[in-house]
Chains A and B, each alone.
Chain A
Amino acid sequence: MNDHLRAINGIDRMIHEPGRLMIVAILSAVKECDFLYLLTETQLSKGNLSSHLSKLEDAEYVEVEKTYRGKVPQTVLRLTRKGRTAFENYRKELNAALIKEAVSSADIQKKDKL
């Protein structure tokens, strides 16, 4: 198997899906946010966002809290410790693979010049 492919073989599929990656990446940079904020930032449809959040909640990556702000219902979301660790590991693995690729392409370019 290609080295680069092997490097990303063990990557977390729960996070790797583009919609969920967007959600987890945004949540990793905040303490907490509500459903409306995620909807605005991700530009996903309401149903799509809800379904991704349910999957992340089932995997215990995201904590969902349903409250009220005044009389308006509000869904507050935050990344759990497990989710944060999983996302950090995901980024480490992806970065390592991307850097390996960048270094090897730089080496190839040098050899070509020589």
Chain B
Amino acid sequence: MKANTDEFTPDGHRSIKQQIADTWRAIKVSTQAAAEAQKKDPSREYMQRPARAVNIEGSVELAWGIFCLAGTLSIYLGSLQPRPPWVSSISWVLLATMCLAPLLVPKLVKRLITWPRSGYVALDPKNTRLARTMGLVLGAVFAIGFSILGIAERQHSSLTTKAIVAAFAVVLLLFFVFTWFRVKKACNGALAGQLPLVSPTSAPNPAEPPTTPIPAEKIKTHVRFGISAMLLTMFVVVPCVFGGIIYCWLHFTVNSHVHLEWSQSISMIIALVCNPLLYLMMNAVSVKKHKWKWFGFALLALGPLTILTLFPEVLNELSKPHVVIPNTLSFFIAAVWLISGTATLVLYIIHHPKTEVSME
């Protein structure tokens, strides 16, 4: 009986502890049931198939490889001393290539190679709107942040660190608020409108006193908060922790006498953390078919760190003007992307002969 009295406050309401336990049980059963139903849903697998078309022939990898190569070449030529007279005109070409490659290369490859072989498909822009918006926002935040950082570093401003910390906190807060407003649909989908089925009134224990069901909206709010916090952890906290580890490793292990500017440290961390993650994201579907892509992932994840450990003098390249990531590392990353993209493209062409079919 003691357990039962603990469940209620003196005025007869359920205690907060009990309410949390009930909510947790409701969420657990709901999500388990929804997951079970999703497994049995025959249309789910078919709906995921078109996403494979995005990088089926390695066009996105090629585009990113060209982007990285053009950027690296531009910085490398800019850092040459004395600067040859033809560098400025070539730099413009490289800059244009860098900007246009992610847009034009996939379109060109698809039009000339993919569509005649496995057919034309245009993905629904509504499905990628969130990813595009987030990419734009993150890109803008980094671009503005780097500009401020660069100016502050040149002026040797002591305010920089405080400003960066404050800006970072604001970005985190904005990200959380943005997620909070965007996860409403995901929250409804996760619970699939089945909350009344799993409210505490359906508790199978007959000894338990009758209770009032938890309002569905309350559970949804808890789930929404949980999903927002999870996304924040995944996309911000985890990269920051990995970034911190790499930063410490760069500073204290590899080459402690090289002075790294904040902009250089952040750029290197982004390059070292984001490239393997991006590679994994792009190949999430095809990696089951092309097992060798795990080797590409390992190269991107461990290659730059191995180069820095074996040849710490590579960091000396950072003393040249405009260099934020050592050119050797940038060339290596670009080469891995280009080789992986080319191999995927060649394999795709071999396994998909050209066909001309139309509806009868």
Binding site for B on A (CB under 8 A): 18, 21-22, 24-26, 28-41, 46-47, 49-50, 53, 64, 66, 69, 72-76, 87, 90-91, 94-96, 98-103, 106-107, 110-111, 114
CB distance from A91 to the nearest CB of B (A): 6
Query: Which residue on chain B has the smallest CB distance to residue A77?
Result: B359
Residue pair B29, A106 in contact (C-beta under 8 Å)? yes
Residue pair A46, B50 in contact (C-beta under 8 Å)? no
Check A40/B124 contact, CB under 8 A, given A28-B47, A30-B50, A96-B194: no
Check A21/B46 contact, CB under 8 A, given A33-B121, A98-B41, A102-B36: yes
Binding site for A on B (CB under 8 A): 29, 32-34, 36-37, 40-44, 46-51, 53, 115-116, 118-125, 127, 192-194, 197-198, 202, 204-205, 355-360
16 more contacts with CB within 8 A, not counting A46-B357, A99-B33, are A25-B43, A30-B123, A31-B122, A34-B120, A39-B357, A66-B359, A69-B115, A72-B356, A73-B358, A95-B41, A99-B36, A101-B37, A102-B32, A103-B194, A106-B32, A107-B204
CA distance A28 to B45 in the complex (A): 12
Contacts of A114 in B (CB 8 A): 204-205
Residue pair B118, A76 in contact (C-beta under 8 Å)? no
CA distance A102 to B356 in the complex (A): 45
Residue pair B48, A29 in contact (C-beta under 8 Å)? yes
- A–B complex contacts, Cβ < 8 Å, 11 sampled: A18-B42, A25-B44, A25-B46, A29-B51, A31-B124, A37-B118, A41-B50, A49-B359, A64-B359, A96-B193, A106-B33
